[in-house]
């Protein structure tokens, strides 16, 4: 988990322009919405393409993305559930 989480943090910092330092993002920090990092739908697309490239996992549609991209933990769980990482 922690190794995957670290790779996800790297992905967040390299593909997105974050206002928050990446090591301040916990596994459970919400990535979207005003209480979290405040990412938007274009960031979500960027993340989906990054996850496909880095981990070989496909996020097919928006409904899946909403669930999977909630936090670093939910992304890591999804990667493991797909047998990747």
Partner 1 sequence: MAGDPASHLPHGISFRFVDRVLEIVPGDRVVALKNVTVNDPSLQDHFPGNPLMPGVLLVESMAQTAGLLLPEGLSAVLAQIKEARFRSPVIPGDQVRIEAIRRGGLGALHRFEVVALVNGIPAAEAEIVLAVVMPNAEKQP
Backbone angles phi, psi at 38, to 5 degrees: 70, 30
**How near is the Cβ of 3 to partner 1 at its closest, in Å?**
26
Token pair recorded at residue 55: 């981990």
Q: Is 25 exposed, middle or buried (0-12, 13-18, 19+ CB in 10 A)?
A: buried
Query: Which position among 39, 44, 70, 76 is part of the footprint of partner 1 (CB under 8 A)?
Result: 44
Q: Determine if 62 is a binding residue for partner 1 (CB under 8 A).
A: yes
**68 makes contact with partner 1 (CB under 8 A):** no
**Quick check: 49 binds partner 1 (CB under 8 A)?**
yes
Told to check if 59 binds partner 1 by CB under 8 A, we report yes
- Per-residue tokens: 9: 């943090």
């Amino acid at each position: 988990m922690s190794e995957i989480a670290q790779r996800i943090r790297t992905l967040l910092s390299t593909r997105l322009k974050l206002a928050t330092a990446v090591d301040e993002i916990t596994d459970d920090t919400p990535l979207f919405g005003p209480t979290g990092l405040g990412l938007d739908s274009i960031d979500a697309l960027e993340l989906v393409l990054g996850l496909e490239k880095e981990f070989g996992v496909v996020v097919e549609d928006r409904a899946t993305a909403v669930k999977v991209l909630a936090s670093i933990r939910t992304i890591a769980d999804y990667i493991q559930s797909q047998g990747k990482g």
